[in-house]
Every structure is written in C-alpha cells, then in structure tokens.
Chains A and B, each alone.
Chain A
C-alpha cells in the first residue's frame, strides 16, 4: 500500500504541475491523515533527491510540486539561447524583506525604515503577486496593511516564514555593549 501511495502521489504531482499539491489535498485523495501524507511526500522527496534524477519534489509555502533541479539550468540555457531570468531590483528586494519580517505592515512603516517613498514599488509587487493587502491597521486613517503571498514563498524557496534567514542582530548586542 505504502509503495502504491508513493506511485499515486508521483502521478498526481505530474498532473498538477506548477499548481502543486497541498498536504490536505494529498491526504484527502489517499484517504490518509495529513501526517501520513507528509511521510509519503517526504519519501518521494528523498527518492528524487538522488543525483541520478533531473527533477525534484519541493515544498514551497506548503505546496508540493515537481521542479527541474538547479544543476540542469546551465544546460537549459544552452538549449534556449534566450533563456532569461526575471530579476528583482535591489529596492524591490529590500521592500519585500521588510514586509516578510515585519508583516502585517503599513506603507508608512516601510517608508520609515527605507527612508524613501515606496508607493509605486508596493503596487508593482502587488501586480506581481508577491504581496497582498491584509486588512487595515487600527492606526489613524486606517492605513492598508501588507503581507507576503504564497507566490513570495515559492519565489524564495520557503516552506514557511520561519525559514527566513535570521536578521543580523547587531542592534541589540552592540548597543548594549555601549552602556557597559
């Protein structure tokens, strides 16, 4: 049964493509608990982690999907002379970083940290589906709050926000040293 489940999940992942499969969906289809589904998916991930495979199973933002391995990319570039990556500008990255670590956050709060206006940037990021509005703050004027989306998790290879690299912590430690 276990092996059969593995086969089924493999086939399903192939069908759903970049839409991916969530644990809940997987558990419902196989009629097993989510923790069992998790084990099956992890087994499949291990199977594909093998160096002999050109694709792998990833879990970004709780969505499992097949992707080609990074090691294949150089060859894809050779195959397609025009292979281009969509870049994110430094200011886009900074804005995203602030939102991801401080969400939900208002535009003014982001601007306070960056020292520059970011109205246009927020609109661009929203259009790219990397951030979304998340209700309104209770502050005067009830400004809109922003947070990152599943698309953001996918674009930055994150299973959850807990996986974000830790912020360099010199603010606390070194300023404490000052008072010694």
Chain B
C-alpha cells in the first residue's frame, strides 16, 4: 500500500476519516469501525514515519475509535447499565461525520460565491463626502444641558413608578469612577445607540441611578459617549471614540 496523500491535504481527523471511508468504499450508514480504525491507525503511523507531527486532534479521535472497539469486546458485562444513558459512540461518530460532510460540501459552494464576488470591484466613497462624515462625528454634545436635566427628572419619576416593593435593604456605595468602568465594560455588548434606561437596568437604588447619571456626564465630557434627547424626553446615547 502506498500513501501518496500529504497530511496537510486534510482539514482534520473527520476529513481524514471521510477520505478513508471513500477510499475503502465503506458504507457510512453501516460503518465498519474495525476497518476504519485499522486504516486510520495505519495512516497515523505513516505520518510518524515521515516525521510529520501528528496533531493532537488526530490522536483524540483515534482514542475514541479504540475506545469503541474495546467497548465492543466487553459489551456483555456493562451493556445494560451504560447503553441506556449514552448515545452509542458509533452513532455519534456517524452523525458527526455526516454533519461535517454537510459543511465540507457547502463550503465548496460558498467558495464559488466568494470567487464570483472577487470579480466584482467597487470604488471607495468620494473623498469630499468622506470629509462630511468626519465633521459630523466631531460634534461632541448634541442635546442641551437643560434638555438633559429635564429628561433626567422624567427618568427619575419613571424609576419611582417601576420600583418594586422590596423589604431587604443593602447599603451599596459605588463611586462615579467605578461606575464609568462598569459602563465602559458593558459598552461592547450594547448596540450602537441605546437609551439611558438601558444603562439603568442594573440599578435598584436612587443612589445608583444618580451615580450612573454622573458617570455618563463625565463620559460625554471625554467624548466616550454622545447623547441626544428626543421628543419623548428619552436620553439616547451613541458610542464615541
């Protein structure tokens, strides 16, 4: 038997197994694990002989194959206990091979789409209008401080209404600096624009609400956030630089 295929031709152990199954004309739906394991092991040994580093992933799958074989030998004793709880390893392997094959095939189609797209070229945006976009971004504060104060009052009133009846009281003090850090950490998960209420989701005390408000004032000052107040007096934020 001669091995003419190079290892980097395969995308991983599943790819190699699919290749072996095809080459040995094995039936994927009635898989002979014995033959597959033998071929697989033969291949890995050959790789080692050629002084190629066998990636750990290949060894993991080899262990799975060998585990299956050994389980088959010991089937009688343990069968009743284990099989009811575990998916049969062979079924699992076949399921994985089929799923992998699906994506392998579809990636061929995606490749064609990608190559087609590469043949269509476009122009960058006109230089002048790019300047317009930039000057827009430099506007630091969009709403006036008075509008902001009014909106904040309304927000506080809404908080009062939403406030659940709680009997437990825990004194939790947080500094504006810490709150800024907390908000900055949350920014990544927030959409491009979001409302002040969204930031208050984790606030239970009036103290926390006010600290949050002070924090966003500071962040607007340093251009980390831009704000605007809409007609319904909701404060909206846009992420800054």
Instruction: Known A66-B123, A167-B102, A171-B102; judge A96-B110 contact (CB<8 A).
Output: yes
- Binary interface encoding of chain A residues 120-158 relative to chain B, with 1 for a CB under 8 A from any of its CBs, else 0: 000000000000010100000000000000000011111
- B11 on interface, CB distance cutoff 8 Å: yes
Taking residues whose C-beta sits less than 8 angstroms from the other chain, chain A's interface range is: 35 or more
- At the interface, is chain B mostly helix, strand, loop or mixed? helix
- Stretch of A25-33, A35-43, A44-52, A83-91 on the interface side: A83-91
- Binary interface encoding of chain A residues 73-94 relative to chain B, with 1 for a CB under 8 A from any of its CBs, else 0: 1001000000001101011011
Smallest CB-CB separation from A88: which chain B residue?
B114
Instruction: Known A68-B122, A156-B117; judge A116-B55 contact (CB<8 A).
Output: yes
Q: Is there an interface contact between A113 and B103, defined as CB atoms closer than 8 Å?
A: yes
Q: Is there an interface contact between A67 and B122, defined as CB atoms closer than 8 Å?
A: yes
Q: Is there an interface contact between A170 and B114, defined as CB atoms closer than 8 Å?
A: no
Residues of A within 8 A of B120 (CB): 56, 58, 67-70, 73
Q: Is there an interface contact between B110 and A97, defined as CB atoms closer than 8 Å?
A: yes
- At the interface, is chain A mostly helix, strand, loop or mixed? helix
CA distance A60 to B110 in the complex (A): 15
Q: Is there an interface contact between B125 and A115, defined as CB atoms closer than 8 Å?
A: no
- Binary interface encoding of chain A residues 2-38 relative to chain B, with 1 for a CB under 8 A from any of its CBs, else 0: 0000000000001111110000000000000000000
CA distance A88 to B113 in the complex (A): 12
Q: Is there an interface contact between B11 and A16, defined as CB atoms closer than 8 Å?
A: no
Q: Is there an interface contact between A171 and B99, defined as CB atoms closer than 8 Å?
A: yes
| Number of B interface residues in the complex (CB < 8 A) | 41
Residue with the highest number of chain A CB atoms closer than 10 Å, among B95, B105, B188: B105
- Binary interface encoding of chain B residues 41-62 relative to chain A, with 1 for a CB under 8 A from any of its CBs, else 0: 0000000000000010100010
Question: For chain B residues 142-179, which have a beta carbon within 8 Å of chain A?
Answer: none
CA distance A108 to B4 in the complex (A): 32
CA distance A66 to B125 in the complex (A): 11
Residues of B within 8 A of A19 (CB): 124-125
- B115 on interface, CB distance cutoff 8 Å: yes
Smallest CB-CB separation from A100: which chain B residue?
B110
Q: List 7 A-B contacts (CB under 8 A).
A: A14-B126, A15-B126, A68-B120, A93-B107, A96-B107, A101-B106, A116-B13
Which residues of B does A touch, CB under 8 Å?
Answer: 11-15, 29, 55, 57, 61, 95-96, 98-107, 109-111, 113-126, 129, 188-189
Other contacts beyond A18-B123, A171-B95: 20, CB < 8 A: A16-B126, A18-B122, A66-B122, A67-B121, A72-B119, A73-B119, A73-B121, A88-B114, A96-B107, A97-B107, A115-B13, A115-B96, A158-B113, A165-B106, A165-B109, A167-B103, A170-B102, A171-B98, A171-B102, A175-B29
